[in-house]
Amino acid sequence: MMKLGKISPLAFSRMRQRGISIDALNDLLTRGQVEKQADGAQVIYLDSPIPGPHWISRPQPRLYAVLDAAGEVLTVERRVRLPG
């Protein structure tokens, strides 16, 4: 479990552009899966829950954040993953 620390101006701007709230970022940092990079950076991601059968052909959103080695949030993104 990570706690929200410093957010870069770029990350804050991207969050506003993409409609990602501070609460969503906190949830991501609390429940997300962490991939550590060789330089100490971290990619934290949270896949959406598995949709029901009527959602099979629709893309699934994925929220992720990139943090530097000191824990500053560098960017936050909502990507869409196509099934398959």
- Helical spans, DSSP H, in 1-84: 9-18, 22-31
Query: Is 0.75 surpassed by the pTM of this model?
Result: no
In a domain, 45, yes or no: yes
Give the per-residue pLDDT at 66: 92
Per-residue pLDDT averaged across 42-71, rounded? 72
Per-residue pLDDT averaged across 50-56, rounded? 53
In a domain, 29, yes or no: yes
Give the per-residue pLDDT at 42: 92
Q: Which of the four pLDDT bands, split at 50, 70 and 90, describes residue 83?
A: low
In a domain, 49, yes or no: yes
Per-residue pLDDT averaged across 32-61, rounded? 72
In a domain, 1, yes or no: no
Give the per-residue pLDDT at 17: 92
What is the span of the domain harbouring residue 19?
9-81
Per-residue pLDDT averaged across 51-65, rounded? 63
**Residue 52 pLDDT > 60:** no
In a domain, 3, yes or no: no
User: From residue 3, how far is each of 29, 32, 34, 66 by CA, in Å?
Assistant: 6, 12, 13, 14
In a domain, 4, yes or no: no
In a domain, 2, yes or no: no
DSSP state of 55: G
* Residue carrying structure tokens 């398959």: 84
- Across the beta sheet with 33-36, the strand order is 33-36, 42-47, 60-67, 73-81
| Total count of domains within the chain | 1
Query: In residues, how long is the chain?
Result: 84
In a domain, 51, yes or no: yes
